[in-house]
Amino acid sequence: MKNFLVHTEEVKREMLKSIDVANIEDLFTHIPQHARMGKLGFENPLSEMEVQKRIKSLSKKNNTDYTTFLGAGVYNKFIPACISQVANRFEFLTAYTPYQPEISQGTLQVMYEFQTMICRLTGMDVSNATVYDGATACAEAILMAVRISKKDKVLVSEKLNPEYINVIKTYCWAGNIEIHMFSEVPADTSDYACVMVQNPDFYGELTETPAVSNTLLIVCTNVSALALIEPPREADIVVGDIQTLGLSMSFGGPHAGFIACKEKYLRQIPGRLAGRTVDADGNPAYCLTIQTREQHIKREKATSNICSNQALMGLCATLYLTLMGEKGFRQASYLSAKIAHKLSDKLAQRGIKILNKNFFNEFVIEVEDADKFLSNLKSNGIIGGLKLNHNKILVAATEMNTEEDIENYIKNI
């Protein structure tokens, strides 16, 4: 069997020489030394059993028993146990929608139900069956607006998630699209393909959806907030991340994003779309439709190079919304907002400046020394938020935080 051939030293030298690198270690010079994994300290060869025991003992040094008030796009949300039980079934876990996709009726039905739920939440007519994450959704929506408008300049809010902005910059650089950042929407937007805003924005602030004319409006939103606030029906395209819908924080991923839009832009939406029809016997049947991916049409006519999607993550989100129901979903969002506002009030009573006027479950505080503030909390088992700069911290709360958590937070600042 020759499935795997180890490279000889000579082959390695030839490969390194061809890319003008002296040794393998040089391939990782862009990774800071402090972020690299050190040696495990295995002095002598060990058996598999011995290695497992050693690794388990090392893993116990990881302290995961923190109360967390982190947000910034990834939140500690309640996840019903049933989700993993269904999502881990082999029919879903190992499935990839085949190139004859109509065979996978169960997977296609989940996609269709997911799209329907996203449309109901966002007030849009059409949704795709997920993209990779919220950042990708933002970038793909901008490319979508450029195709529709035939313009190569876009307006992006400075209050968008910084990670999303970085991904947008990468996509726009590759597509020769000019990005103009703004704090306030300019009066004249006619030269631009789109205006992109986030509501609630990265700093948690809830704002009115801006009124724009002569251009497309893209709104990046928090789907959990849509349980309590009006959906952005004024938008042409709505995007976001679905992490809050039954997906664990998981060290930042995998999660998934979505793109929803008005029906007239249907043929420009990237990713997969599942449709419902009837078969020859009149029974409901599901199929992939409006197939505008490069796998199905000429590459130059493709709406995106996304040839897959986060189907399993979409399944988890669909299960979450089904299990929680409309009432439970709204209650979880209400509790998140209630706890966040209660923490904000108590911090204000202690003299901490709160920089938000209106927010859902996330707000910014101003302190004398952010590092010291967060260090005090961490030493008492609390991750107090995300440091924005030397004196500003972004704090989030969810239904997973309790009254006791709030009291401990206030007691240890």
CA distance 70 to 78: 14
Map out the domains of the chain with their CATH numbers: 67-79+326-411 (3.90.1150.10), 81-318 (3.40.640.10)
- Please state whether the peptide bond connecting residue 200 to the residue before it is cis, i.e. omega within 30 degrees of 0: yes
The tens digit of pLDDT for each residue in 302-319 reads: 787 665 668 899 999 999
pLDDT, residue 1, reads 41
**Averaged pLDDT, 287-309:** 71
Candidates 76, 55, 33; CA nearest to 251 is 76
For residue 383, pLDDT over 60 is answered with yes
CB-facing half-sphere around the CA of 31: CA atoms within 13 A = 8
Helix (H, G, I), strand (E, B) or coil at 247: coil
Digit-coded pLDDT (tens) for 68-97: 999 999 999 999 999 999 999 888 887 665
Q: CA-CA distance, 131 to 240, in Å (whole number)?
A: 10
The predicted model gives 200-225 an average pLDDT of 96
Cα separation, 94 vs 91, in Å, equals: 6
* % of the chain surpassing 90 pLDDT: 74
pTM of the entire structure?
Answer: 0.88
- The pLDDT of residue 45: 84
